[in-house]
Each structure stands twice: as C-alpha cells, then as structure tokens.
Structure 1
Amino acid sequence: MSFKLLKTSKKSRARTGILTTAHGAIRTPFFMPIATKGAVKGLEAHEVADLGAEIILSNTYHLYLQPGLSVLKKYGGVRNFMKATLPILTDSGGFQIFSLSKLRLVDEHGVTFRSHIDGSKHRLTPKKAIAIQAALGSDIMMVLDYFPGYPATEKQTAEAVRLTTAWAKQCFEYKKVLSKKYTAVRKQMLFGIVQGSTFRELRKRSASELTALPFNGYAIGGLAVGEPAAEMYKVLDHTVPLLPTDKPRYLMGVGYPEQIVEAVKRGIDMFDCVIPTREGRHGRLFVWKRKDKNPLALALSHPRKLPLGKGEGEGVRTFYDTLNIRNSEFRSDTRPVDPSCDCQLCKNYSRAFLYQMFKTEDWLGPRLATIHNLRFYLVLMERVRSGIR
C-alpha cells in the first residue's frame, strides 16, 4: 500500500499520482461514488466500476446499524456482501453520529448515541471504530473524529480539535495492535482527519498534531457543511500546505463540479459526495457546456469565472450546466440529455423518454439519471487529471 506522486502542476498545487491499495491502484485525483449502506442507490457494484469508478465509499455508521456486523461477518466483510471488486474506503461514522443522531453524549473516550433508525443506544469509541472497519475489510479506514457542527464557536471547535487528536492517537495505536494479529488489517490504510472549522489557527493546530503521526493519508473534514464556498477555499489555501506532499489528501464531502476543480487546483487528491446520485434521483442532471477547454485549465486561466458555490450568485458556470428533466419543456424533446456523453442514458434514450420515466414515477428514470451524473463526475476527473501540467 503506497502513494506515488507522479506530477505537480507548474501553475498551481494540482498534482497527479497513484494510490495503491490491497485491491487495486487508483489514479489521483479521483472521485468516490457513495455506497452508503452497501450500494450506490439503484446500481450494482459492477455497474459503478463500468462507469469508470476506481474506488467506492461506504459508511461505518450505517453498516454497523444495518445490516449489522453479525451479518457482514458472515460474508467476510462488506466487499463480498456487495459483490464489489473495487477498493473501498469507509468513513468512521463520526460525521453521521453528529449530524443524524439527536441524542448523543461525547466524552474523552468516545460518543454514546441513539440510532436514528430505532432509537437503540450505542457506544462508539476510537478502538471500536477501528474494530468495525477492520471487520468491514475496507482498503482505507478513517479515524473517529469529532465534527462540532456549523456554525460552531471557537471554543467548541477547539474542543473538537482536542478530542479529534486524542481519538486519532487511539485509533492509530489500536490499528497497530490489530495489525500484529491480522494480516488483512496490516494491509488496510488509515487516514487522519484535520478539523478546525473556519478558524485558521485551529486548522493549523489540528494539522500539526495529526501529521505528527505517520498516517497513510490525511483528510480535511468539517467543510461543505454550510459555510460559504469562499470560506472553504480559504481553509484549503492555508491547510493543504501543512500536509505532507508524499501522502494523499482527501477533502471529505465535496462537492459540486466547480468546487472539485477549485480544490484540485489547491492540491486535493480525493473526493466524495452524494451530489451526483442525489441530484440524479431528483431529475437534475449535469451536462457539459464547454468541450473546448479542460475545466482545470479554465480555472487557472480565468479563476473568477468559476462560481463560488451554488446559490451564492457569484461567477458563471463555464464548463457545465444543469437541467431539470421534470420540466415540461422536455416532454417532446428528442435529443439526448448530453450529446457528448457516452453513458447508457445518452447513447440510448431521449430527454422525452427520461421525462416520461420521471413523470410516471418509474424507477428507471432515477436509475438512468444516476448513471449519467456519475459518468459526468468520473469524466470530469479524467479531464482534470489530463489537464494537470
């Protein structure tokens, strides 16, 4: 398991590399489709791979609650359960506990929470987070971190940074213990997570404390949670340079296409987000608007043309557009959703057909739209990688 840096841009911090895991090598920068509960909604694992994905993400919190470890252990982990061949990254579940569970109690050693499904009481500690992910058999594990929410005061964020560091140390040490016992755990990577919200000094402290431990990679968490996109970019500008150049950098939960491009420009290697699949299920599709320029090259040559974020009214989308297939204007539109796209939807069906599927609430509509949006995101990453010079 290793990360090899191949090329760094002469115009920005963008870079390409190869992240080698126990179940395959992945070209960076890359996007991870989200199979939260064991599947990308509506798709089989092999279909996600056929779209060009090289890694997928599943979530510890959701899999732990349902179907539960007793079921997953019968399959030898989540890989066999979902029939996946690609590498898998599992989030520790910390974000979901703090965002989904209304009843929770945080202390020095972990968090006690109630399931958002049935209200049952559970306890998650750093050691347990590692033990669960070891049982899941993911290629990349994440430490248990403390997300303080947004907005959060500086005092609240400082406490989150303190606990995140303490828990990260416990995760690191317990993985070492398990690695001595189990070869499979030895092959799993473990990433630390930098917290600190939008407070520069707290981000600096978190990065310093976490990089003191030799994790396999480092994530930046607690962003894309409601803060203005401009603030997110500022955090990246002063946090990314604090992370080791020889380790992969993961921006968790991001994002819209323009946000991914801006983050790559700032040196981020890994992304995940529900946007392409969630938007697809609601009939909102991404289409290429500019085919003559690479999105990254466009961002570098005309930085102000990329929007700061959805709904902020700043900038213009220069390389893509969106359409809502539910709109009646598409009822008799015989064109493909995107003539330049090679996905199953665009090669075989018209906008009118997709409109009909959504209008009649046939599940084929959300499924085809999901396929299209994922293909858009994966092609976006291909174009971004090719544009790093």
Structure 2
Amino acid sequence: MEFELQANDPNSSARAGKITTGHGVIETPIFMPVGTVGSVKAVTQSQLKDEVKAEIILGNTYHLYLRPGTAVLEEAGGLHKFNGWDRPILTDSGGYQVFSLSNNRKLNEEGAMFQSHIDGSKHLFTPENVIATQRTIGADIIMAFDECPPYPSEFLYAKKSMELTHRWLARCVKAMGETEPKYGYEQSLFPIVQGSTYKDLRKASSEFIASMECDGNAIGGLSVGEPEEQMYEMCAVCTEILPADKPRYLMGVGTPWNILENISLGVDMFDCVMPTRNGRNGMLFTSKGVVNIKNKKWATDFSPIDDGIDCHSSNFYSKAYLRHLFVASEILGLQIASVHNLAFYLHLVKQARQHILQGDFQSWKNEMIPILKQRL
C-alpha cells in the first residue's frame, strides 16, 4: 500500500491524499460505507459504484467469521469475489463487536472468549487468529485486534486496556510478518490508538502505535458516548503524533459535521453505520440540513430529495414519494434513503477534498456546519 500526501490546508490540519491498494486508488479524505456481513444494508454493489461512488467499503471480521465462515470465503476466493466488489475492502478486527458483547465475553492475555450472538457457541479470538481470519477474508486493509474500553472508563481500567491492546498489537505485527496474503495482492495492517478520554494515555498510545511503523494508523474508542468536544480534543492529541506520511483512520465517526471537524484535525478516513441506519429510520442528511422524511410536511413536497448532489436516487425521487414509501412500509423507501445518505456522505468528503486542494477548506467548513446541522 502506498500513501501520497497531495495537499495541506493552510488554515487547519486538513489534508488531501491518495492511497493506492491492490484493488485500486482511494482519494482522501474518504468515507467508507459499512458492509458488516459483506453487504451494505439495502444497497446493491452497482448502486455503491454508480450512485454512492464509494471507493472502499468495510467488512467485519466477527460477523464474517460466524457467517458465512472462513471456509466458504476461502473457497470463493475471498470476500471480493464472494460479494462481487472489486474495489478496496477494509475489515474491522471484531474487537468492537466483542467489546459490545460485554455480558458474553471474557478477556485475558491470550485473547477474548465470546459467545456467538447467533447460536451461543463459544469462540476464542486471539491476535494471531484474527490476523489469519482477515487474511482469509481478503481485506486490503486489516485492523489490529484491540480492546475498546467503554465510556466512561476509570483511568486505571483505560490504562490496563490500552496496555493489553499494545501487547496484542505486537503479536498482530508478528503474525502479519510470518504469514502471506492468500489471493495475490498485498494486505496492510493498521494498528489502533486507544486510551479512552485521557490525554496522557492517548499520547502514549499514539507514540507506541507510530513506533510500529505500519502502513497506516487508526484512532479507536471514540464516538462511544463521550461529548463531541471531548472527541475532537482526543482526536487532536492523536493526529499531532501519528505520522503525517501515513493515512489516519478515525473509526466509527460519525455525523456529517463530526466528519468535517475531524478532517480539519488531520483525519483521512472515516466509517459509520449512521447514514444507512438513520436512513432506514427516515432520517436524511442533505445539502440543506437534516430531514425527517416521515413528517407530514413532506407529504406534498414534490421537489427532489436533494438536487445538490450527483446521485440518481437523490435527484429522481421526490420527498413526497419517499415519505409515501415510508408510511406504506415499502422496502424501496429504505433503499432510496440509504443510497441517498451514503451518496451525500461521499459527496461531502469529495467537496472537502476539493476545498483542501483549493486552500479554503477551513472557511468552507465553518460555513457548512451550521447548514448541515439545521433541522428542516
């Protein structure tokens, strides 16, 4: 994997870059649609390409390990061939999902023992077998196995959790070095900074992660309930330390305004279920603000969902028609809303990139955020 830094905004830490992988180029800043089980919910791969204009999607190791399982994925030739997506894929290591199963998992030095949410069967994730699983899935970018502490966390718990994540990372790096990619293209490891909302822990974790000299670096454990300002504060601590010549990925963030604020802090890559999850519940993010499409006020609004972005679904269907689909519980409504929200997110990060290249990102961002936040 190669990363080329192409421009820096003169009034912030925002940057534009280019990541080259075995499955193509990713222009940053970028938003990555979440395809947890090998599918972005309610959205086809052709829609992801043609309407959303996605350059990379996510898969999740925990879910893909349980279903369809590594044997099926290996026989298929990896996730790219299994789901028909020929552009880059990143896999989350499953650490966050195991963390979210707090009542059904046990952590120790070896790894995490957990019970499947599907059938209750017991499984052990270790740094070594999580790397092997992601190799088999066939991700272009592989995430290190980590523990994501809850918010809020006591300092001592957060410190011990971070230190465990660091020890697991050393084992992940060793496992990557001792194994080969399965399908004829390179795979890159991204470590994950932890440390909860403690500046000194975030600083120490960022320094340790940077010292591992991996192809890129991630910031985890944020957007888990802490106030937005605290998220930005912790992110800034990390981006000041993580090397500028490697891509920086902020995991699980967030709203459109969260994304713009974190771009200004020097983050390059984002993912979040929000555009699809909120879309399926009738919340639309648009170039004029936030729309609850179920509201009666849209019943006779025959204007396009959003003519400010380049997306067929957003331009072709009216707000009135989309509201009708939701009121009638038609599945097509979930699809249109999901495609629109994802297309808007991709449109937004592409706009951000253009303004970084033009050198006026910070002033544009400050104008955009109040618009994006307003409820229509």
Range of TM-score over shorter length:
over 0.9
Q: What is the identity, as a one-letter code, of the residue corresponding to 2:216?
A: G
How far apart, CA to CA, are the structure 2 residues paired with 1:101 and 1:161? Answer: 17
- Say whether 1:372 aligns with 2:371: no
Report the alpha carbon displacement of residue 101 of structure 1 after superposing the two structures with TM.
5.0
Q: CA RMSD of the aligned region, Å?
A: 1.2
SS at match of 2:87: coil
Say whether residues 1:340 and 2:305 are aligned partners: no
Cα separation, 2, equivalents of 1:78 and 1:346: 29
One-letter code of the match for 2:82? F
Measure, in 2, the Cα distance between the counterparts of 1:185 and 1:91: 21
Q: Is the 8 A contact 1:101 1:116 kept in 2?
A: no
Q: 1:214 aligns to what?
A: 213
Tell me which of 345, 349, 361 is aligned to 1:381.
349
Describe the SS at the equivalent of 1:176: helix
Letter in 2 for 1:195: Q
Q: Deviations over 1:143-195 (max 9, x none)?
A: 0001111111101100111111001010001111003xx46477101001000
Task: Please give the alpha-carbon distance, in whole angstroms, between the structure 2 residues aligned to 1:221 and 1:185.
Answer: 29
* Structure 2 length-normalised TM: 0.92
Change (3 A) 1:95 1:286: same
SS in 2 for 1:334: coil
Is the 2:78–2:183 Cα contact (8 Å) retained in structure 1? no
Structure 1 counterpart SS, 2:245: coil
2:74 counterpart residue number: 73
| C-alpha separation in 1, matches of 2:314 and 2:93 | 36
1:336 and 1:377 map into 2 onto residues whose CA distance is: 17
Aligned counterparts of 1:46 and 1:167: Cα–Cα separation in 2: 38
Q: Which residue of 1 aligns with 2:103?
A: 102
Residue identity matched to 1:288: S
- Is contact 1:102-1:114 (8 Å) kept? no
Counterpart amino acid of 1:89?
L
- In structure 2, the residue matched to 1:153 is 154
User: In structure 1, what residue type is equivalent to 2:12?
Assistant: S
What per-residue deviation string (whole Å, max 9, x for no partner) do you get for residues 208-227 of structure 1?
Answer: 21211121111000000000
Percent identity of paired positions between Structure 1 and Structure 2: 46
- Counterpart CA distance in 2 for 1:327 and 1:48 is 28
The residue type equivalent to 2:164 in the other structure is L
Number of the residue aligned with 1:299: none
User: For the residues of structure 1 that align with 2:291 and 2:83, how far apart are their CA atoms?
Assistant: 32
- Residue 260 of structure 1 deviates from its aligned partner by 0.4
Q: Secondary structure at the match of 1:387?
A: helix
- Following superposition, the deviation at residue 46 of structure 1 comes to 2.4
What is the distance in 2 between the residues matched to 1:122 and 1:8? 45
Matches of 1:103 and 1:257, distance apart in 2: 33
Q: Give the secondary-structure state (helix, strand or coil) at the position aligned to 1:322.
A: strand
Q: 1:117 to 1:183 in 2, by over 3 A?
A: closer
Larger RCO: 1 or 2 (CA < 8 Å, sep 6+): 2
Contact preservation (8 Å) 2:32, 2:271: yes
Q: 1:205 to 1:219 in 2, by over 3 A?
A: same
TM-score normalized with structure 1 length: 0.89
Native 8 Å contact 1:101 1:115 kept in 2? no
1:284 maps to: 283
Alpha-carbon distance in 1 for matches of 2:7, 2:13: 10
Partner amino acid, structure 1, of 2:223: A
Task: Give the secondary structure class of the aligned counterpart of 2:310.
Answer: coil
Range with bigger deviation, 346-355 or 51-60? 346-355
Structure 2 CA distance for partners of 1:183 and 1:85, relative to 1, 3 Å: closer
List alignment gaps of at least 5 residues for structure 1: 290-320
Other-structure match for 1:300: none
What corresponds to 2:199 in structure 1? 200
Q: Bigger shift: 355-364 or 185-194?
A: 185-194
Deviation at 1:100, TM superposition (A): 3.2
Tell me if structure 2 keeps the 8 A contact 1:254–1:260.
yes
CA contact (8 A) 1:134 1:185 kept: no
Query: Contact 1:113–1:122 at 8 Å: present in 2 too?
Result: yes
Partner of 1:351: 319
Question: CA deviation digits over 1:102-157, x for unaligned, max 9?
Answer: 21111111110111222110000000010000000010000000111111110110
**1:21-72 Cα shifts (integer Å, max 9, x gaps):** 1110110110000101111111122221222111001100111111111221
- For the residue of structure 1 that corresponds to 2:277, the secondary structure is helix
Once the two structures are superposed, residues 299-354 of structure 1 have per-residue CA deviations (whole angstroms, 9 ceiling, x without a partner) of xxxxxxxxxxxxxxxxxxxxxx1111111121222111223233222322211111
